[in-house]
A and B are shown apart, each in its own frame.
Chain A
Amino acid sequence: MTVAAVPAASPASTGEQSGVRLARSRRNAELSLLLLAIVLVAAYSATVEANVLDTVTSDFWIPAATLGLVFVGLHLVIRWLAPFADPALLPAVALLNGIGVGFLRRYDLAQAAPEEREHLAVFAGTGGRQLAWTLGAVVLAAGLLAIMRDHRSLSRYAYTLGLAGIVLVMIPAVLPARFSEINNAKLWIRIGGFSIQPGEFAKLALLAFFAYYLVRKREVLSLASRRLLGIDFPRGRDLGPVLVVWLISLLVLVFEKDLGTSLLYFGMFVVTLYIATERVSWLLIGLILFFGGAYLAYLLGSTVGGPFANFYLRAEIWLDPFGDPYNKGYQLVQGLLTLGSGGLFGAGPGGGQPTLLPEVQTDFIFAGIGEEIGLFGLSALLVVYLLIVERGLRAALAVRDSFGKLLAGGLAFTLGLQVFVIVGGISKLIPLTGQTTPFLSAGGSSLMANWLLIGVLLRVSDGARRPVTGGGPVPRPSGGPPEQLHGAPTEVIRP
């Protein structure tokens, strides 16, 4: 049955009761999936120890149990603060995060001297640090759920967030190299022994701004158009903001030497634009602009050099990694060989040789894991990513307000694009760029930013799946931007 949508004047009690009874929060399904994910992580750790140490130590389960405790904590927070959130998101992310921690511990084991391995402290090394970061990131996501009770409140800070995003993007570019450069990419802020990657957080802030901006401008962008070859093209003057974002992403490309991040920002903007206007022409324009820009950078890199040289080098390695397999192409070639030696079913967790692969704990973690679980396991991980993205898009489809739609759709797409950029990079589909693999790679910034992203998706999906109760679904925040973003006065019910 459908829940009655009563005109605003009518009493709300009947609609509310039936709504609450009908809607299923699916929290128990989430908990059981979460427990299954934790069992999987524990099984992974046990197999690793059986392979590497030839015995399973008595405390193999401690990292998995710690993670389990953290995630069940978040599950309880969701039960309390976002009871109608999507049940598949948390377990899927928990699995990826758990496998990441497990692999990093496995990397620590491989790096330790053979006689020390059995006594390697559980919370030491990269794996232990990642565990701590996970705790921090999950606390951050829970905090986000607690502070942001309605995703629409985010639209009130849209311009602040947009400015913050641009500043965050720009900081590494303008900082002197010794504060911002690691591995030839200027993406960092380094203070003391501590480094953060502001771009990871910037993408969230920028996306919130894009969503808000496009909700306000969507009509102009989709209405005024000229038809050419059966596709509606926007007017020249409406292209302004797109060109600005394109320029910013090219600047990132040139000055921070990072193709991946620039592709990420640009793709993010074009897709939110597409979602807002439903015009295919934006996708075409976006693709043409990006490929044009990238090709131009490539040409400039080969002739002028300077800031474009790095990009030219990346493209050359991509085109022919085996041309210089011991020097420039070393990393990519090792990654390809690692994936290849994994084959269909892999060497088994703990059976590979991740130490041979440079940057296996960050950029190449997917190849490192692939060596041990093979194509069969890697495709399962990719499907898990796909499911996370799908749930995000589903939340975007189901949520009632345009801002939420754009926010959730854009965030889900960004996550998917990031996975594509890095997995495409290590498998030589596109030029390799230093992106983190969401939830797997070692690194606090990436983990925190992505957990925040999941927090926002949980919040939006909670709003989307929450049954609409009778008189006025959400208390409208006062003094905010146009009411259009803050809940229509009509009580509408979706099937």
Chain B
Amino acid sequence: MPELVITVARFGFLILLWIFVFTVVGVIRRDLFAGARSGRLVAAPRGVGAPAGPPAKPAKVKRGRAAHQLVVTAGQLAGTRITLGEAQITIGRAEDSTLVITDDYASARHARLVPRDGQWYVEDLGSTNGTYLDRAKVTGPTPVPLGVPIRIGRTSLELRP
């Protein structure tokens, strides 16, 4: 075999090897972007109804924008979203909760979200560590504005339009 052919084969193989590697990376990359396109969560507006003002302010209902989704923004289930319907949403570690959270600080039946006349109310179900709407502890049924975090242990939930 001529030396030239062997040299070409030798380097050709190495180049082909790297072409393979980069093709695999390309396939993986396309996969990632396919995932990102459907991930509306990534582009979610930050600080909608940011908790700066007095406690009364976030409690004001924004008319004309109904909540359609419940999004988990922090904690183990971050990124999870649930489409809201007419039914109430129960949150807790119990298996029959609508949203089962495996948070260390959550109770079995921790809290629930109840719709009333187009407005969602959060209600603590006697949990050990409490439910917080933004910074305020939830004691009774409290209306939940869009974009204000409901905190349960390390988990944070938000209503989104």
- Which chain A residues lie closer than 8 Å to B136 at the CB level? none
B104 CB to nearest chain A CB (Å): 5
CA distance A72 to B10 in the complex (A): 27
Q: Which of B61-93 contact A (CB under 8 A)?
A: 77, 79-83, 85, 87, 89
**Of the residues A88, A490, A494, contact of B27 by C-beta under 8 Å:** A88
A391 CB to nearest chain B CB (Å): 7
A200 CB to nearest chain B CB (Å): 26
CB <8 Å contact, B34 and A24:
yes
- Which chain B residues lie closer than 8 Å to A33 at the CB level? 20, 23-24, 27
CB <8 Å contact, A495 and B100:
no
Q: Does B52 contact A (CB under 8 A)?
A: no
Q: Does A120 contact B (CB under 8 A)?
A: no
Interface residues on B, range: 35 or more
Q: Which of A340-387 contact B (CB under 8 A)?
A: 345-346, 348-349, 351, 373-374, 376-377, 380-381, 383-384, 387
CB <8 Å contact, A351 and B81:
no
Closest-by-CB residue of B relative to A493 is B81
Closest-by-CB residue of A relative to B72 is A492
Q: Which of B11, B17, B99: most chain A CB closer than 10 A?
A: B17
Given A9-B87, A87-B31, A384-B21, does the pair A493, B80 have CB atoms closer than 8 Å?
yes
CA distance A405 to B34 in the complex (A): 22
CB <8 Å contact, A26 and B31:
yes
Closest-by-CB residue of A relative to B6 is A50
CB <8 Å contact, A43 and B23:
no
| B-binding residues in A (CB < 8 A) | 1-2, 4-10, 22, 24, 26, 29, 33, 36-37, 39-40, 43-44, 46-47, 50-51, 54-56, 87-88, 91-92, 95, 219, 222-223, 345-346, 348-349, 351, 373-374, 376-377, 380-381, 383-384, 387, 390-391, 402, 483-484, 488-495
| A-binding residues in B (CB < 8 A) | 1, 5-7, 9-14, 16-21, 23-25, 27-28, 30-31, 34-36, 38-42, 77, 79-83, 85, 87, 89, 95-100, 102, 104
13 contacting pairs across A/B (C-beta < 8 A): A2-B38, A5-B82, A7-B82, A7-B89, A36-B23, A40-B20, A92-B24, A348-B10, A349-B10, A373-B17, A383-B21, A483-B95, A484-B100
List 5 tightest A-B contacts by C-beta distance, closest first.
A495-B39, A348-B10, A47-B9, A492-B80, A380-B17
